[in-house]
């Protein structure tokens, strides 16, 4: 029996992991879940309801009320504010516990799946046969996100974006609930000097190597 192809893609914000993961999913014909959107949805729903993002009980309730349909129109989940909100609520243990089963059920699909986030290879799918840890320098990640937001009309200075990236890195690395760490068996893919085509090709080769093992 063929083992399901589960591809776990982890890494810090703006490293390119989302684009790489979605392209891997398309290449292998697998369902794709950007788990960061789940946390963004919780954060945005908290803010739209006037809730304090540090209110752990309210955040857990918002997470438990979340359904996959919420991600069907992610237009309000891709802003800088949504990213900041996601980074804050993701550190709340109750939120992570509430979303754990949803993510694990997605990863258990018969043919496999591609998931990206910050704890896919360590918590959500620790037995995934293919694991990537996608990273890049903070300066490059900040420039990528800065260009993306400015092209969309969300004006922000590069300096502010870099400060935000560094702040989120520190928070994510120190999260007691699920700190962002590289799985011991994950392959590091540094995209600092790569364009998306080169990064995707490198990622595909990593997955192919994993499939032959």
Measured between alpha carbons, how far is 191 from 19 in angstroms, rounded to an integer?
Answer: 12
When pLDDT is cut at 50, 70 and 90, the band that residue 30 belongs to is very high
Which string of b and e fits 38-75 if b means at least 16 CB within 10 Å? Answer: bbbbbbbbbbeeebebeeeebbbbbbeebeeebeeeee
In whole numbers, what is the pLDDT of the chain averaged over residues?
92
Helix (H, G, I), strand (E, B) or coil at 76: helix
35-59, pLDDT tens digit by residue? Answer: 989 999 999 999 999 999 999 999 9
Higher pLDDT, 201 or 83: 201
Predicted confidence (pLDDT) at residue 1 exceeds the cutoff of 60: no
When pLDDT is cut at 50, 70 and 90, the band that residue 7 belongs to is very high
Predicted confidence (pLDDT) at residue 119 exceeds the cutoff of 60: yes
pLDDT for residue 175: 62
Higher pLDDT, 76 or 113: 113
DSSP state of 103: H
What contacts 166, CB < 8 A, 6 or more positions away?
138
What CATH number labels 5-204?
3.40.50.300
Predicted confidence (pLDDT) at residue 178 exceeds the cutoff of 70: no
User: How would you classify residue 190: left for phi > 0, otherwise alpha for psi between -120 and 50, otherwise beta?
Assistant: beta
For the chain, the first-to-last Cα distance in angstroms comes to 15
Domain map (residue ranges) of the chain: 5-204
Question: For the chain, give me the number of helices (H) and strands (E)?
Answer: 8, 5
pLDDT for residue 155: 84
- CA 175-108-100 angle, to 5 degrees, is 25
pTM of this prediction?
0.88
Measured between alpha carbons, how far is 38 from 208 in angstroms, rounded to an integer?
Answer: 28
133-177, pLDDT tens digit by residue? Answer: 999 999 999 999 999 888 888 888 999 999 989 988 888 777 655
């Amino acid at each position: 029996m063929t083992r399901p192809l589960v591809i776990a893609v982890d890494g810090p914000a703006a490293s390119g992991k989302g684009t790489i993961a979605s392209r891997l999913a398309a290449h292998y014909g697998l369902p794709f879940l950007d788990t960061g959107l789940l946390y963004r949805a919780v954060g945005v729903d908290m803010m739209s309801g006037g809730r304090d993002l540090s209110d752990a009980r309210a955040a857990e309730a918002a997470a438990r009320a979340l359904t996959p349909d919420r991600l069907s129109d992610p237009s309000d989940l891709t802003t800088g504010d949504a990213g900041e909100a996601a980074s804050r609520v993701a550190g709340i243990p109750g939120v992570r516990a509430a979303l754990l089963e949803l993510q694990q059920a997605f990863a258990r699909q018969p043919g496999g799946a591609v998931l990206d986030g910050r704890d896919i290879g360590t918590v959500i799918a620790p037995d995934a046969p293919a694991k990537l840890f996608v990273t890049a320098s903070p300066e490059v990640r900040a420039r990528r996100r800065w260009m993306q937001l400015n092209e969309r009309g969300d004006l922000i200075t590069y300096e502010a974006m870099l400060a935000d990236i560094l702040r989120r890195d520190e928070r994510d690395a120190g999260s007691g609930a699920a700190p962002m760490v590289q799985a011991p068996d994950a392959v590091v893919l540094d995209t600092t000097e790569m364009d998306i085509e080169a990064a995707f090709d490198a990622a595909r080769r990593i997955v192919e190597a994993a499939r032959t093992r």
